[in-house]
Structures are given as structure tokens and as C-alpha cells.
Structure 1
């Protein structure tokens, strides 16, 4: 006896489903089971499956398009389909190692253009002279107009020793073609140094993303700076787009003796929470730099430190991404990133599309070169230094009295 599977008012024998139909059905089931909004953007989700399976699916590409069309109806830019190459690239990126040119990129929300957030320290891109806010006009023969971040990243990654051509546009200059040789990029997301400023020994730490290496590398940086005599810290989360939720939680725990780090809320409204149990690696004064590029796991960390009164936030309102995605692999090696929950700060602030307002709002002013970050040219950094100086002076007076 044949087993039949019903789709709406249509029935298909299970054995008769093509591989392409099975792939579409698998993607539909994952979203149906896990997606945060159980109204699916106020539409009949089952009817969409029926419509997709009635479409002629001749090959993988048409199946992928059918899945993408289903996901578009959710109106959620963070729930998206990843072809096998994109899925592997995302896994590599979060694992902390890849082969490519070493650029962090973003789409400018106003212009839609592909821009450089920052080159990774020591990467081929940095050595080639690429700077933050450079616009990438073309990658090889592909124009970047309307390109996705995943597509752009996959075009720049490749075999070690191979070349990739980028056409770069910079304010005040004509577009320039640059050939870069790909190399292995170890994604150490931490840049740390001891800086003497206004009688303070400041442990400056810039965290560029939350990959699997972030908690370990940041813990190492704090310990080394303590040994060098740091008496206060500045944690720079500007233009940090986020990454792994667990990495954000573990980094928060490095700074907190106790307290809630973050609440999560799923589609049933059930709340979970992650706590810090200490001890913190340091109790010295801490200022955190944030801006409009501070997003996702960065906002989890900033919110945890602000609500627990562990740090003073300085800079601009953050991006406002309060949604959590999970990755699911499909049967052919492609995958889905699906919004499965939202998060709230320890004070139950829902910051999605709202962002986190710093304790001290300071505009960044004119863009500065990467080598001038955390210097006298960096107005947000200087504001953080002033706050730390005031805090340290107050603590010293309290001890004397």
C-alpha cells in the first residue's frame, strides 16, 4: 500500500516526491516548527507549501527559488536561504577561520551600497590599503549593486594563493581596481593594547565580532592587560555586527560577578535566561563604545553591562537587532537561517528596531582612518577616557575618606 502525503486539498504519494520537492518540503517544515512568529506574517503558511509544490521544480536552482519565494513572504530579512556554498561560508566564519581577503563588510542602509566596515588586522585586504567605508563596486566581474552580503562574501573567499579583483570607490577619488591574493584568515576578533592617557593605564580592547574564538581571546586580553598594570578598561564594540549568541553570553560573563545576561523569548512566549555566576576577571572601571553598527550579540553584551551597572556606554544608539537566528542544514548541503526567538536585556528591554541608547551620547563626527581609532582624533574614545578618569578619581577619593 502506498503512503500518501496531503498538501492542502492535494495529495502526493510520498514515493513520488522528487528530490526538489522533498527539499522544499523540508525547508517549509523547519520554518513551520521553529519560526518565532506563529502567524507567519499573518498568512496561511500551509497554503504556501501547497503553492510551492505545485510549481515546476526541474533542478536545485528552481527549488532554491521556491524556498526563497516562501521566505520572502515572512518579510524578515534575517530568515533566509543559503545555498551550499553560502552555508559553508557562514559556518566557517563563525568557526573562527577562513580563506579569503579579510574584510568585514556591510550594506549601507541609506544607499544600499556594499561598504567596508573594517579590514581584519594583518589580512591581505589591510596590506592592500583598503580602508573602512570604502565602497566595493565590483568583485571580479560581478557588480555589487543589489548584491547580498552572503553572495559578496562568497565571491571574495577562495583557495589560498588565488587572486581576486575588487573595484574600490573612496570619497574624493576615482574608482580603483585592486588585485588581492587570498590567504588563510585566522579570525581573532580581539585587538588589545595598554594605553596611557590622562594618568590612567587603560586596557583598550576592540572586539570585532562574536565568533567561536571571541570568549577565549578576550579573556586572554584582559589577563595580559592586568599583568601590564591596567587600572581601567575601554571595550570597543563599534561596528561589531554580532555573531554567535553563546559567544556574546560568555563574553558578558567575563565582566560580571553575577546577574542576568539576557532573556530569550520563543514563539510560545516562554522565557529563558542566561546568568553570570562569576567571578569576573576584573572589577576595574569599564566604558563601552557603541555606534549604529553595534548589532545583535554586541547589543546583548552592551545591554547586559548597562543594565547590571557594570559599565558606562558611550557613543551612538545601537543598530537594534533583537532577534535570534538558528542555522539548519538541508539535505543537499544548503541551509536556512531562521529567526527562532527574540531577546530582552536584563531589565526586560526589547530593543529590536529601537537599539540601545548610550549613557553618554557622542556623535562620531567625521570618519577617521583605522589607524586613528582610540587616539586623540577619536572623539568617542576621548569621551570614554574622560568618564573613566572621573570614575577612578571618585574611587580614589572614596578610599582616602
Structure 2
């Protein structure tokens, strides 16, 4: 008995002291580049909707990536992109710092800058002013549509991308930026010093249209589901009600989506009750978002969609269609039924990761399938300034529906 106790104690001593049987692992020090790579790996490991990771051994991928010599941030980004490509999911992607900042600005609904919409003129390649935003510092400084921006501070714009030019004009409220401007009517240039301010990006365009029978119809075009989209839609609805609107056209064509919550909030402006959308996580568990009896109007509604209507546009269109609140007109939507979350990395870059999928209130999974409108109307490509004109056949069909009591009744 004494011998047996002695043997057990010897074994325990060997295990504790590491006498050939057990060795405590030494913590490995990682480089800054490896830390960013590993953080990206962990985010996907904990959040990605498919816990089989497209049938990949995710731990084995991590170990292989750590064997790569990473001597620059560019090499790290390449390694992260290669890792994400194994998922075969185009929506789970790396966003370098510039792209990540731009995406956050676009979805926030506001920024601090000068308030200019810009474009590269297709013939000359010059940086052109599309329009100053109403009430912006650029408008107050007298900058007009079609003016050319030759330089931003000391940076000539000839070799700048749109994103690079936009980033140079943005900045903290109260700081100044110098723009060298040449007007469209003159070859002379002038320097304009502008103090940056808070700029609200309104994603909503509205006006009152009339049917052939002179019925007042409120038209709302939503370009993106940004953080302020719901408030802007609500404001527009109240204003157009006061102007006598008897029905509405909601134009979601070429709207790529944006914030899921914005889509839900806008649906609640039209739906008094009912389910708006179901979400399904990686465990297969369902959650739902419902209307909350806060609808602003119950007037007839026609929604315009096309192949450029995606993501949150499809959530909103699907909610209104399945609840028989609206008649959808146009062409089949894009078919993006996946939800992404944004994760910021230590260097200011970010990851967009698919964390869930969604289903319409009728439990339709529209990913890669899209939503089919109630009224299919083909449309040849038109310019932005042709939207709402005779050339816009989908818009004209929407107006016609308000004269057809039976069809509009589908929505009510």
C-alpha cells in the first residue's frame, strides 16, 4: 500500500514539474501584422453565419496563415482577403481604412465637410461639381453645379479618385479647406476658402405628382437606408399629407440597401401591425421584427423596384407585399437575403461579415432569387433626370394603378 501511494505521488510530481510528461505551453508573441490577421480570424470564427465555414477547417486555416511572412500591411490585407475568399461569400469582405470610413459616412446620414456632390467628368476626367447641398458651406461660398475643382488645398485633383477627393474635403467641424475652382463659363480660376460644418445627407427625394384624373400622389425616392432615412421619410409623409396627397409611390429602384434597422423603421411608417422580417442566425434560431402601431398613413401605396433594389430594399418591399400593404411594380429585385455586421480592426480598417439571413413575413428566402413584383414592367435604362417622366414606364404604370380601384385594393 505504501509503495502504491509512492508511485502515485511520483507521477503527480512529474506532471506538476514537467518531468518529461507535460510541459506548460509558452505564450507566443505575435507581430502587429499577425495580430490584425488573428483578430480578423476570430471575428469570423465567432460571428459568421455558417459555422462549417463553407466546409473548411477554420483552425487549420488559421495555423497555415500564421506561417506566412507578413512584412507589410498590404501583405496582411492580402492574407485576410485570401482567408475570407475561402468562404465563397462576396458580402464577407475586408474594407481597407478609406473604404471603411466611406461606408460609415454613407450609412450615418451625416458628415462634416463642405457639402458638395462631385463626379469625374467623363470626357475630360476633371473633378466636377454635380451640385452643392442645400444650406451647405459650399452653397454659401457660391460654388455651383458644373464648376471644376482644380485643387484641394495644395493637392491637384488630376490624379485623385473620387474617394480621395471626398476625404480631402471632409474634416472636423470648424476647420477650413481651400478649393481652387474654375467655373463652367470661364477659364479663370479662383481660390475659395470654406469652413467645414456638419452636413446632413438627405437620402429622400419627394414631390407631388398628379394622375390624369388630377389625383394628388406623393412621390418618394429613397436612395439609401441610412441612419436618418426613416426620419426623412416620416417628415415627407406628414408634409405631403398636408399638401393633399391621396396615395404614394415609394421608389426603391437602384437602392442597394444600407442599415437593417432603417428598413424596419420605414416599414413601420406604412404598416400598423404584422411581421416585417424574420432573421435566422447561425444556430438556425428565428427572430422577428414587427410593426408597432405607429403607421403614419393608410393611403394606397405603390412601390417601384428593379434588379438594383437589394438588401434592406428587399426587406421593406417584401414586408409591404406580404402584408398586402402595397402593390409592387417593376422588375425582379436583386436577391440579397443576407445580413452583414461591421467590425472595426485596430488599424482603422474593417470587416463586413455575414451574420444572419432574413426571410419575408411569408417565410420566403429571397437570397439569389429576388422578389417578383405584382406588376412586372420592363424598363430600358434611363438617365436620372428622366425618372418620373414619360420615358419612365414603371413610374407611369404606378400612376395608372391609382385609377384602377381593384388593383390598388390589393394593397389595402
TM-score (norm 1): 0.77
1:387 Cα deviation from its structure 2 partner:
1.0
CA distance in 2, matches of 1:77, 1:383: 35
1:187 aligns with 2:201: yes
When residues 386 and 34 of structure 1 are mapped into structure 2, their CA distance, relative to the original with a 3 A threshold, is same
1:128 aligns with 2:128: no
Quote the residue 2:216 is aligned against: 201
Quote the residue 2:9 is aligned against: none
- Larger mean CA deviation between 76-85 and 91-100 belongs to 91-100
When residues 52 and 329 of structure 1 are mapped into structure 2, their CA distance, relative to the original with a 3 A threshold, is same
CA distance in 2, matches of 1:79, 1:53: 21
Quote the residue 2:40 is aligned against: 27
Quote the residue 1:238 is aligned against: 253
CA distance in 2, matches of 1:347, 1:140: 52
Q: Which runs of 5+ in 1 are unaligned?
A: 1-10, 106-118, 131-138, 143-151, 166-180, 396-401
1:299 aligns with 2:308: no
When residues 12 and 217 of structure 1 are mapped into structure 2, their CA distance, relative to the original with a 3 A threshold, is farther
When residues 12 and 237 of structure 1 are mapped into structure 2, their CA distance, relative to the original with a 3 A threshold, is farther
1:360 Cα deviation from its structure 2 partner:
0.2
Quote the residue 2:360 is aligned against: 345
Quote the residue 2:383 is aligned against: 369
1:90 Cα deviation from its structure 2 partner:
1.4
When residues 320 and 164 of structure 1 are mapped into structure 2, their CA distance, relative to the original with a 3 A threshold, is farther
1:26 Cα deviation from its structure 2 partner:
0.8
Q: Map 1:89-108 to 2 at 5 A.
A: 89-98=102-111, 99=113, 102=117
1:295 Cα deviation from its structure 2 partner:
0.5
Secondary structure of 2:167's counterpart equals coil
- Larger mean CA deviation between 26-35 and 93-102 belongs to 93-102
1:101 Cα deviation from its structure 2 partner:
5.4
- 8 Å Cα contact 1:156/1:164 also seen in 2: no
Secondary structure of 1:16's counterpart equals coil
Secondary structure of 1:127's counterpart equals coil
- The one-character-per-residue Cα deviations of 1:259-288 (angstroms, maximum 9, x if unpaired) are 000000011101110000113100000000
- 8 Å Cα contact 1:101/1:156 also seen in 2: no
Match of 1:157 among 140, 160, 166: 166
Provide the alpha-carbon RMSD of the alignment: 3.0
Secondary structure of 1:204's counterpart equals strand
Match of 1:215 among 230, 236, 261: 230
When residues 164 and 191 of structure 1 are mapped into structure 2, their CA distance, relative to the original with a 3 A threshold, is farther
Match of 1:382 among 382, 391, 396: 396
1:393 Cα deviation from its structure 2 partner:
9.8
- 8 Å Cα contact 1:318/1:355 also seen in 2: yes
1:231 Cα deviation from its structure 2 partner:
0.3
- 8 Å Cα contact 1:285/1:391 also seen in 2: no
Q: Map 1:2-401 to 2 at 5 A.
A: 13-14=26-27, 16-98=29-111, 99=113, 102=117, 122=133, 127-128=145-146, 140-141=158-159, 154-160=163-169, 186-198=200-212, 199-365=214-380, 367-391=381-405
| Number of equivalences | 339
1:296 Cα deviation from its structure 2 partner:
0.5
When residues 28 and 356 of structure 1 are mapped into structure 2, their CA distance, relative to the original with a 3 A threshold, is same
Secondary structure of 1:14's counterpart equals coil
When residues 51 and 153 of structure 1 are mapped into structure 2, their CA distance, relative to the original with a 3 A threshold, is farther
Based on CA coordinates, which of the two structures has the bigger radius of gyration?
2
CA distance in 2, matches of 1:221, 1:244: 20
Quote the residue 1:133 is aligned against: none
CA distance in 2, matches of 1:238, 1:42: 36
When residues 393 and 304 of structure 1 are mapped into structure 2, their CA distance, relative to the original with a 3 A threshold, is closer
TM-score (norm 2): 0.76
